[in-house]
Amino acid sequence: MMMKATVDLRKLPVRDKKGDVYVVVETPRGSAAKLEFDPDLKLFTLSKALILGLAYPYDWGFIPSTKGEDGDPVDALVLHDAATTPGLVLKCKIIGVLEVVQTERGKHAIRNDRFIAVPRQTHREQADHDARDLPKQVRSEIEKFFVATDELESKELKFLGWKGPKSGERLIEKAAKHFKKANGKD
């Protein structure tokens, strides 16, 4: 059963009072289809099916009240050991960012970074502090996952590298300022 949101989840605050980042889950771990929040319907809709055999390794969502170069809220991959549900809002610690340049056929290249987060009050929060310290194999598989999710579209990804929590936080603040400016709140 799909629950309808009563608010535009894209406009929730970026952070809670303690400074933790909110991440709205769009696509839960294990899903073979990408979902996205439709602010007009206030529901989650199918964005695309993934290629056969591919599923999200972790929860995928966005950081509210941010705006990336693609015009959407910035993306976040939430590393934890449980699948959640679309619309769940997680309080997270940012452990880094995978910096990405995305090129779509016929359009100019844009930055479309993937923020890496762990939920507060979980085992992962205690274990993971910096995305650059994730095992090389895990980082490589995450990169391959992102390439595979765009396999059926005319998008090409170029990975600029993995950065730590400070870089991630700086980029989130920049995206939050971009959101405020675009919404006349600056």
pLDDT higher than threshold 60 for residue 1: no
* Whether residue 12 has pLDDT greater than 70: yes
Considering the entire predicted model, what is its pTM?
0.93
**DSSP-derived pairing of the beta strands 114-119 and 75-78:** parallel
CB 102 within 8 Å of CB 149: no
- Taking phi first (over 0 means left), then psi (-120 to 50 degrees means alpha), and beta for anything else, what does residue 61 get? beta
Pairing type for strands 89-104 and 43-49 reads unpaired
Contacts of 21 (CB under 8 A, 6+ apart): 14, 15, 63, 76, 91, 92, 93, 94, 117, 172
Closest CA to 55 of 76, 28, 73: 28
Note the Cα 56 to chain centre separation in Å: 12
pLDDT score recorded for residue 123: 72
Mean pLDDT of 51-76: 96
Task: Determine contact, residues 22/16, Cβ cutoff 8 Å.
Answer: yes
- Average pLDDT score over residue span 139-162: 93
State how far the Cα of 19 lies from the Cα of 16, in Å rounded to an integer: 5
Would you state the pLDDT for residue 69? 94
What is the mean predicted confidence (pLDDT) over 157-170?
97
Please give the pLDDT value at position 130: 92
Q: Name the least confident of 1-5, 76-80, 166-170.
A: 1-5
Percent pLDDT > 70 in the chain is: 95
Q: What is the CATH number of domain 12-182?
A: 3.90.80.10
Tell me what the mean pLDDT of segment 87-91 comes to. Answer: 96
User: What is the pLDDT of the chain when averaged over all its residues?
Assistant: 92
Residue 92 CA to residue 63 CA, distance in Å, equals 10
